[in-house]
Structure 1
Amino acid sequence: MKVRVLSILSLLVVIIVVTVSSVILTSASRELTQELQINRVAALNRFAQLASDAAQDKDTSQLQREMDRYSELYGEGILIRTQEGTVRSGGLSEERPDVQDALNRASLNLSDTTLNPISAFGTGNDIISRSFGTASQVLGEAVVEVNLDAARQKLRERWLVVGFAALALAALLLLAAARITGWVLRPVNRLSRAVHELETTGKTSQLPDAGPPELRELSRSFTAMADTVTESMESQRRLIADTSHQLRNPVGALRLRIDLLQLELKGQQEKAAAAGVVAELERVEEMLDGVLKLATAEHRAFEGSTRPDQAAEHQRQAVIDPLPILQGEVERAVPAAQRAGSRLTLEGPAHENQINCDPDELAHMVGELIANAIKYAPGATITVATQQTAGGSAVVISDDGPGLPAEQRAASTTRFWRAPQHSKIPGNGLGMTIVDRLAQANGGRLVIEPREPHGLTARLEFAKPEDAQDA
């Protein structure tokens, strides 16, 4: 936004500076033209008077001396035509078309004493002319060639001064525009970041009361709204966690009663019905456990991404070598993999990889991903490994099972979502959601990708630890 606003303001600054400069330079050209015209018309009138006197006295020697002295001083030609002949100086010839035209107009008693506006980069000289004589008779014509080079040089010097002044003014205006734009847009940028933070984490920091009055009021309103939304979301998380926790007691009591009831049952049909109730209770217990874990993971993710002081968070996280944790989880999952007909392998790292993560939560994430691979890809080869990435390291769990289509991969971290083809496999649809939230809580992310030619890859990507970056 700042670039777009500055582009518009820069265009306006250029237009203003060019307009002001054009007005100043046009005024300077007009001023120099007028000054030169007044001076040369005065000289023309003087020579016309001298020529009129010479025509009456029949003596042009004085006139010739004055004309030669003028031409030597200013470098301009003069031509005066009388009834007795033509007097000239400075090499001005009546054969020139412009001089001839000026003489013809003056012979008709039409004076031409107006100079064309001076151009800084023009060339050539200008001509002014007038007639002289009595009120009833034209005795001759006087023509003066006006040299414009000196005036053009003055105008170019003014152009240079105005150019430097225009650049300085443009720089000053652009600097002022940048400062004002930053002052105006800084609250907008903070508000945009706060909206994104609220969208992704459910919390946002206090916006500073800065900027124009309207934006300060908007910041205050947004902060109040964000606090309300955050409190509402936190209340919902606490309600879910508390409800799940409180339900464990009656469910546990119900489980105990059913176990006692099973001891009293004699018929096979009754025992089968009781076993079905127990299976449903186990499903409820599993779901309650999943909801509690999800509430804890979401609380960790939201808390870790919005806490201003991350000291407590860093106490839980540590820069660790993930290989021992992966080894432990692989060993723990080997019996389940053998029962499912799967082959579970751990690949040693090609390079030393370190990640910043809570060890217990990393073990939980890896264990959940391995369990999912065993459950939903029976008979597959499951590989657990670490890899280096452009920004850090990743823990990769991949299998060569059937995999998931793109739309199902995108929905795999949604709460309670399960693939239609897995509906008959026991599960509550919370495992991948918990892994995703725990990855966020530890500054990482979960990426679900296809494996070629078939299968699925789950990547836990972590940024390079700060200690490793400093090294």
Structure 2
Amino acid sequence: MRVRLQGIVLTLVALLVFGLGIPLATTIASGAQQDLFLDRLTDTARFASLAQRPLLDNKPQLLDPDLRRYTEVYGVQVVVFDQDGKAVDTVPGPDAARIDVRAARITGPVHDALAGRRSQPGGMLMPWNTEPLVLAEPVLADGEVRGAVVTISDTTAARTDVLWWFLVLTAGGVLAFVLALAVAIPVVRWILRPVKRLDDATGALVASVVGGRAAEPVGDGGGPPELRQLGRSFDRMAESVSGALEAQRVFVADASHQLRNPLTALKIRLGNLEGHVVDEPAAADLEAARIDAGRLHQILDGLLSMARAEASGGELDPLDLAEAVAERVADWSVVGEARDVRLVVDVSGDDVRVRMPPRGAETILDALLDNALKFTAGGTEIRIVVARAGGEVTLSVRDHGPGLRLDELDRALDRFWRSSAHQNVPGSGLGLAIVSEIVAHSYGKLALDLPDGGGLRITMTFPAA
């Protein structure tokens, strides 16, 4: 937008410069032509008056002293023609060697003068037009044309003046462009400053709101009053969205926490009924109730973890990802040995420090290793890779389970979503959603892919601390 606004300003300046400069340049050229024409026309008419008697007496040489003096002073060649169009007296000027009195540019005005017509102004005097100014005036005696006087004037001096004026106008136009650009850049920046702040704030709003951080206000900066008002409206909207999302988080956390106690009591009571229900249909219902209570308890734990993950948008703590992986793998190796699954850790790179919310790495690894152990068959392995490349640290967890279909990879991060092929596996469908929240709060990226050999690989990339 800034480029477009500056282009509009410069276009308007260009139209103004050309709209004023071109007419002014043509006026200057026409004025120079008119001044030179009138000056030479007066002299030519005076010599035509002086030539009456010498031509009548057939003594054109009587004009030589006046014509020669005029040529010496002004450098203008003067030629006198009789009524037959023959040059009878010529006083050469400084450029006489380059002037042919029989040239078309001279014979034409001579014929007009002998026909009784006076010279007319020519076109504009442009710097690139090197033709001399040729004027012819008839010599009249008793109303009859007795000859003609022609002046041939070099226009170099006049054209030089016009050229200088053109250069001044060009310099003025360039200066106007430079000044317009110098003024347009800060003015356009001032106009667009609220727009840029709004654009930046819009991009950061989701991360700020989801991360529990206050959105940066945009209505306090400079700019036009209308855009500042728009910024203040945006601030109120962001505050409302943040408040609504925070209320939602508090509700989910409070509801999950409050439900855990009665649910725990319910599980205990169902456990106490074991052995006291002798009717087989009732015993089956009791077992189904215990399973449902356990599943509900698992969902509530997932909701609490999700609420904590969404509320972890505060300060990020530096941690050594290799140490965090080693600690969690040591705990989960017991589960892996019980299921005949090896947990293999591969760390490459000297410094694999990243910044995460408190207990963020623990929550991520617990969720991913729990999922991997659920789906990985015995006799296989789960590989955890930690690597650094440039300014990024990568953490990936790869299992050898059934994996997902390609069309399911994008949905795997949705809350409570589970593949139709895994409905018989215990779980709440919140694990990857929790991981995604923590990765986003850590300014990282998460990707799922299906590696060769089967299974599912989850790769997270974090900025190095």
| Shared fold per TM-score greater than 0.5 | yes
Gap change, CA 1:221 and 1:176, over 3 Å in 2: same
Determine the structure 2 residue equivalent to 1:322.
321
> Can you list the C-alpha shifts for 1:2-38, whole angstroms capped at 9, x where unaligned?
1232233333333333333223322221222222222
Determine the structure 2 residue equivalent to 1:411.
411
The answer to whether residue 88 in structure 2 is matched with residue 86 in structure 1 is yes
After superposition, the CA RMSD in angstroms is: 2.4
Determine the structure 1 residue equivalent to 2:162.
155
Aligned with residue 145 of structure 1, among 141, 148, 152: 152
Determine the structure 1 residue equivalent to 2:384.
384
Aligned with residue 119 of structure 2, among 112, 115, 136: 112
Distance 2:70 2:426 in 1: 115
Distance 1:167 1:145 in 2: 37
Determine the structure 1 residue equivalent to 2:103.
96
Q: Is the 8 A contact 1:399 1:451 kept in 2?
A: no
Deviation, structure 1 residue 132: 2.3
Distance 1:67 1:54 in 2: 13
Determine the structure 1 residue equivalent to 2:286.
274
Aligned with residue 296 of structure 2, among 255, 266, 284: 284
Q: Is the 8 A contact 2:136 2:148 kept in 1?
A: yes
Distance 2:238 2:334 in 1: 49
Determine the structure 1 residue equivalent to 2:23.
23
Q: Is the 8 A contact 1:444 1:461 kept in 2?
A: yes
Deviation, structure 1 residue 179: 1.6
Q: Is the 8 A contact 1:41 1:113 kept in 2?
A: no
Deviation, structure 1 residue 268: 5.3
Distance 1:338 1:12 in 2: 78
Gap change, CA 1:27 and 1:449, over 3 Å in 2: farther
Segments of 5+ residues of structure 2 without an aligned counterpart are none
The answer to whether residue 254 in structure 2 is matched with residue 255 in structure 1 is no
Determine the structure 2 residue equivalent to 1:167.
174
Gap change, CA 1:72 and 1:411, over 3 Å in 2: farther
Determine the structure 1 residue equivalent to 2:224.
212
Determine the structure 2 residue equivalent to 1:309.
none
Determine the structure 2 residue equivalent to 1:430.
430
Q: Quick one: which amino acid aligns to residue 366 of structure 2?
A: G
SS at match of 1:434: helix
Distance 1:266 1:401 in 2: 40
**Any residues of structure 2 matched to 1:293-332 within 5 Å, and which?**
293-301=305-313, 304=314, 313-314=315-316, 317-318=317-318, 320-332=319-331
Gap change, CA 1:424 and 1:122, over 3 Å in 2: farther
Q: Is the 8 A contact 1:115 1:128 kept in 2?
A: no
Q: Quick one: which amino acid aligns to residue 344 of structure 1?
A: L
- Percent identity between the aligned chains? 27
Deviation, structure 1 residue 223: 1.9
Mean Cα deviation higher: 199-208 or 240-249: 199-208
Gap change, CA 1:4 and 1:136, over 3 Å in 2: same
* Count of matched residue positions in the alignment of Structure 1 and Structure 2: 452
Distance 1:118 1:256 in 2: 110
Determine the structure 1 residue equivalent to 2:195.
188
Distance 2:355 2:238 in 1: 30
Q: Quick one: which amino acid aligns to residue 190 of structure 1?
A: R
Q: Is the 8 A contact 2:219 2:235 kept in 1?
A: no
Q: Quick one: which amino acid aligns to residue 205 of structure 1?
A: E
Gap change, CA 1:258 and 1:399, over 3 Å in 2: closer
Distance 1:282 1:256 in 2: 11
Q: Is the 8 A contact 1:113 1:130 kept in 2?
A: no
The answer to whether residue 380 in structure 2 is matched with residue 373 in structure 1 is no
Q: Is the 8 A contact 1:113 1:129 kept in 2?
A: no
Q: Is the 8 A contact 2:352 2:464 kept in 1?
A: no
SS at match of 1:411: coil
Q: Quick one: which amino acid aligns to residue 22 of structure 1?
A: I
Distance 1:34 1:118 in 2: 9
Q: Is the 8 A contact 2:352 2:386 kept in 1?
A: yes
Distance 1:293 1:44 in 2: 107
TM-score (normalised: structure 2): 0.90
Determine the structure 2 residue equivalent to 1:240.
252
Deviation, structure 1 residue 46: 2.1
SS at match of 1:382: strand
Deviation, structure 1 residue 356: 1.9
Q: Quick one: which amino acid aligns to residue 110 of structure 1?
A: R
SS at match of 2:398: strand
Aligned with residue 238 of structure 2, among 217, 226, 251: 226
Gap change, CA 1:126 and 1:441, over 3 Å in 2: same
Q: Is the 8 A contact 2:345 2:384 kept in 1?
A: yes
> Can you list the C-alpha shifts for 1:237-266, whole angstroms capped at 9, x where unaligned?
211111111111221221222222225334
SS at match of 1:347: strand
SS at match of 2:268: helix
SS at match of 2:459: strand
> Can you list the C-alpha shifts for 1:377-415, whole angstroms capped at 9, x where unaligned?
435432111122343211121234443344322222111
More helix by share: 1
SS at match of 2:448: strand
Mean Cα deviation higher: 376-385 or 39-48: 376-385
> Can you list the C-alpha shifts for 1:285-327, whole angstroms capped at 9, x where unaligned?
11011111111111224xx4xxxxxxxx15xx12x32112111
Q: Quick one: which amino acid aligns to residue 106 of structure 2?
A: V
Mean Cα deviation higher: 65-74 or 25-34: 65-74
Q: Quick one: which amino acid aligns to residue 38 of structure 1?
A: L
Determine the structure 2 residue equivalent to 1:343.
342
Determine the structure 2 residue equivalent to 1:35.
35
Distance 2:5 2:453 in 1: 50
The answer to whether residue 12 in structure 2 is matched with residue 12 in structure 1 is yes
Gap change, CA 1:153 and 1:455, over 3 Å in 2: farther
